[in-house]
Structure 1
Amino acid sequence: MKTIKLISLFVLGLLSSCSQEKEEITTSVWGKVINPKGDNVSLRLQDTTITTSLDSVGNFQTDVPIYKAEKVVFAHGEEISTMYLRPGDQLSLTIDPTEFDETLQYEGEGSAINNFLASIVLMEDTLENIAQLAVLPEDSFLIEFRNTYVKKENALENSAITDQDFKDWYLKNNDWEFYFNLLNYPAYRSRVTQENFEPSGN
């Protein structure tokens, strides 16, 4: 009998633990679209897409059902921006689609991380993109491409962000993007120059 009670308590403990892990904390995103290009905005999560309508003056509000930190793509019209949402974030944003990246601004809980991501997009706009770099000689390409990688890494190091989960996520994404583009460099170069190219292997 004592054994049965112990097993029952163990099972109840597991159920309680699972319940706590799946407990949903309200996460909200709201804001205003100035000069809207459509009548709604959408948030693309890992498993679902939430679409919410703008009111007559461009305001919107929606709750986001997440149980852990997650990459979310905010979209309006043909414009998109990457967000990073954590359970409990209460995030507002303002945007003007005519100058999307330049006007995107976040406030509230979670704003520091997302304003940082928005600043990275603006920084990338000032750097040579992969198509521009692909025409360079291989050695020059590798130098410039790595400089871009390091600048994005340094931007995080010099920021005031302390959320270690976000920092780990950001650095892993930076690594992935670097090696993905490096792997595809020969194809980029061949496409841009219209010539067959084989890397040296160094």
Structure 2
Amino acid sequence: MKKIVIVVSAVLLIIGCKPEAPKDYVTLTGTITNPNSDSLIVAQRTILKTIKVKSDGTFSDTLKVKEGNYVLFDGTEQASVYLKNGYDLNLEVNTSEFDETLAYTGNGSDENNYIAAVALLQETVLGDDSLFTLEKASFDEKIEGINSKFKNLLTEAKITDTAFVSGQEKQIDRLTNYIASTYKERRYLATVLGKGNASPKFTDYENFKGGTTSLDDLKGKYVYVDVWATWCAPCKREIPFLKEVEKAYHGKNIEFVSISIDEDKNHEAWKTMVSEKELGGVQLFADNNWKSDFIQEYKIKGIPRFLLIDPEGNIVSSDAPRPSSKDLIALFDELKI
């Protein structure tokens, strides 16, 4: 009888010691001091989850994810976060110093504290404008040191997830390559597209009112160029402000030129919008959308983009203030337009 009891006890002991199956979801909890919103959004291309934030700033929820990088939004603030099913992650942050106070505890905290540290260092590096004014040899030396700083952060984090570490090493190399390409672009803007240099030219662009127009046709006046497209919402938000500025400077020594970089398939949409919105100034259609020589030479990768060219055809600003900015009028006043 005793033997039976011993055997049964052993079986129960084995059953009791059986490890729990790993969770197939993430637990996300935390406290936000001075929250900007009543909810925290987890997103990756689209919103994955909206988590309610209580009046005291605390929150708690679970979600299933595909392992990878996500973005947490608290109103106007945001942070990158790495999520993996099985994580039990707690977040603490004060939005008055969001990046500086963001901290994690729990399963998955090592990876995410590292990501937070990288974001803070990245902000410091990219916010240092002096970095992009260095001569090439000095910049190369500096960028090598920056790469080492990021990799030292990863080493010091002592993360055991080898797949995560491998991915982050590649991400560091991509980041430093991005900084190098930003340097090249900024140097181009400061030299080739610097103030006083001859502006790249557009030639024989279709004019909404008929015929074609080239930049040389406008010599003798300042030329304020708006590069836009019919599908671009931020571009359309500037239209009312642009109309006001055009009206205020009507008859003065300046031409307002809007260049659409719509594709040919949207040519009729461009004509319709110019007509229906009663767009003023000189309305032109670029000869090859984004690939037009003028757009390429100005390194335009995002719109709206505004340019200011002087009466001799030289660059005043390759990235001029928007019509909605008071800085534009201040610039016009400085030039005595």
TM-score, normalisation: structure 1: 0.76
What is the correspondence of 1:114-153 to structure 2 with a 5 Å cutoff? 114-127=112-125, 129=127, 131-153=129-151
Q: Work out whether 1:156 is the aligned partner of 2:154.
A: yes
- Residue 69 (structure 2) aligned to one of 71, 74, 91: 71
Q: Which structure would you say has the larger Rg? A: 2
Contact 1:131 1:188 in 2 (8 A): no
Structure 1: any 5+ residue segments left out of the alignment? 1-22, 198-202
Shift, 1:118, TM fit: 1.6
In the other structure, the counterpart of 1:33 is 32
The structure 2 residue matched to 1:196, chosen from 184, 192, 196, is 192
Distance verdict in 2 for CA 1:130–1:168, change over 3 Å: farther
How far the C-alpha of 1:132 sits from its partner, in A, is: 3.0
Query: Where does residue 167 of structure 2 map in the other structure?
Result: 169
**1-structure distance, mates of 2:184, 2:124:** 24
Contact persistence 1:73–1:80 (CA under 8 A): yes
Q: Report what 2:52 is aligned to.
A: 53
Shift of 1:128: 6.2
- Counterpart pick for 2:179 among 178, 181, 185: 181
Mapped to 1, the partners of 2:127 and 2:139 lie a distance apart of: 11
Give the conservation status (yes or no) of the 8 Å contact 1:46–1:71.
Answer: no
Report the number of matched residues.
Answer: 172
Shift in alpha-carbon separation, 1:173–1:130, aligned structure 2, 3 A = farther
Identity between Structure 1 and Structure 2 (%): 27
Q: 1:32 to 1:158 in 2, by over 3 A?
A: closer
Are the aligned partners of 1:37 and 1:76 in contact in 2 as well (CA < 8 Å)?
A: yes
Output the amino acid matched with 1:196: V
Q: Supply the AA of the counterpart residue of 1:173.
A: Q
* 5+ residue gaps, structure 2: 1-21, 194-337
Q: What secondary structure, in the 3-state scheme, does the structure 1 residue paired with 2:157 have?
A: coil
Cα deviation, residue 56, structure 1 = 1.6
Contact 1:43 1:73 in 2 (8 A): yes
Indicate the residue corresponding to 1:11 in structure 2: none
CA contact 1:24–1:65 (8 Å) conserved in 2: no
Q: How many angstroms apart in 1 are the aligned matches of 2:117 and 2:179?
A: 21
Q: Which amino acid in the other structure matches residue 137 of structure 1?
A: E
Superposition deviation, residue 58 in structure 1: 1.2
1:24 deviates by 7.8
Partner deviation per Cα, 1:93-139 (whole Å, 9 max, x = no partner): 01111010121111111011111222223334554646431111111
Residues 13-41 of structure 1: CA deviation (Å, up to 9, x unaligned): xxxxxxxxxx9802121111111112111
Aligned 8 A contact 2:41 2:47 in 1 = no
Q: How does 1:92-111 map to 2 (within 5 A)?
A: 92-111=90-109
Letter in 2 for 1:88: G
CA distance in 2, matches of 1:94, 1:158: 21
Find the residue that maps to 1:161 and give its secondary structure. Answer: coil
Counterparts in 2 of 1:35 and 1:175: CA distance versus 1, 3 Å: same
- Give 3-state SS (helix, strand or coil) of 2:64's partner: coil
CA distance in 1 between partners of 2:44 and 2:123 (Å): 25
- Distance in structure 2 (CA, Å) of the matches to 1:159 and 1:167: 10
Cα deviation, 1:46-74, whole Å, max 9, x if unaligned, reads: 5543222211211122222214x210111
Task: Report if the CA contact (8 A) 2:44-2:69 is conserved.
Answer: yes
The amino acid across from 1:174 in the alignment is I
TM-score, structure 2 normalization:
0.47
Query: What is the distance in 1 between the residues matched to 2:65 and 2:83?
Result: 8
Q: Whole-Å Cα distance in 1 between the matches of residues 38 and 108 of structure 2?
A: 25
Indicate whether 1:42 and 2:38 are aligned.
Answer: no
Flag the 1:113–1:123 CA change in 2: closer, same or farther, 3 A.
same
Task: Quote the RMSD (CA, aligned, Å).
Answer: 2.2
User: For 1:44 and 1:83, how far apart are their aligned partners in 2?
Assistant: 10
